[in-house]
A and B are shown apart, each in its own frame.
Chain A
């Protein structure tokens, strides 16, 4: 089998897994392009953001910044805060990206929420190379986002569209992934802790402020749980 055949096989195996992301990104990406247009920003800036930054929620948050004064330091700090969750994705992926060789840096660069969720769970079918499978998922998600935001920017130049509410596709994706993890018993406690901490922080801080406290609460809960676990094991 040639290298090209192997990539084709990996792509065919990966594509069905990316369908929920395709649907979600098609709408969210188009909405982003339209939003940027509504803020007075053109195609080049929208495309640059999607190609170089590739972090949906940060791109939405940053959209109004370009109409304001030049403030690189606050843009830097805002990005660090909004994207701090990537640190947790990275720690989760430390072992899973082992053996991906020269593709590792690309996979890390492309690790958005949705790609992370897919890579966490999706297993390549037999006979399909794991690294190629992961690269295909990541690159497909990336292309969906870039193309959709370019399309949105072009659309936004000629019309106004209301796409509110369509992001439910991604909610469904996260729910499916959550349930998958719930079925694999090993992750039941951490999964429940994740949702509980998030709900508490959402109620306490509101949707715009809750991510950092939720991540901190999850980290604390897991570390305490580990410490108790270790102590119990030592006592036995």
Chain B
């Protein structure tokens, strides 16, 4: 990649990241009625989404699961 292509790649990665961060707020802006299941989900989800971060960062789990070990 040359300089311009690298800059474009950074921009593309940034755009996709921003999209994943902002999309829920664009889809469900304040004031608009949300479906009940989504409200309930937004109450229980915070407790659940730490799970994957914890599990994957914990050496114990990856050490004793040979198939889970990363190849890099």
Residues of A within 8 A of B (CB): 45, 48-49, 52-55, 58, 62, 65-70, 72, 75-77, 79-80, 83-95, 97-98, 104-105, 108-109, 111, 113, 117, 120, 165, 167-168, 170-171, 174-175, 177-178, 181, 186-191, 193-199, 201-204, 206-208, 210-211, 214-215, 218-219, 221-223, 225-226
Contacts and interface: CB of A to CB of B under 8 A. Distances in A.
A97 B44 CA distance: 16
Nearest to A88: B49
Contacts of A75: 9, 12-13, 16
Contact of B24 (A49, A87, A188, A225): A87
Contact of A226 (B7, B23, B24, B44): B44
B14 A53 contact: yes
6 A-B pairs with least C-beta separation: A194-B51, A90-B24, A187-B47, A194-B48, A79-B16, A190-B47
A225 B48 CA distance: 13
Interface of B: 1, 5-25, 28, 30, 34, 37-38, 40-42, 44-59, 61-62, 65, 67-72
A194 B17 contact: no
A197 B59 CA distance: 17
A174 B53 contact: yes
Contacts of A204: 67
A187 B40 CA distance: 12
Contacts, number: 217
DSSP class of A's interface residues: helix, strand, loop or mixed?
helix
Nearest to B71: A208
In the complex, which of the residues A84, A94, A108 has the most CB atoms of chain B within 10 Å of its own CB atom?
A: A94
B55 A91 contact: no
Given A53-B17, A202-B62, A190 B45 contact: yes
A178 B70 contact: no
Nearest to B24: A90
Nearest to A65: B9
A199 B61 CA distance: 8
10 contacts: A53-B13, A65-B9, A67-B1, A72-B8, A76-B16, A94-B24, A175-B54, A187-B44, A197-B51, A208-B72
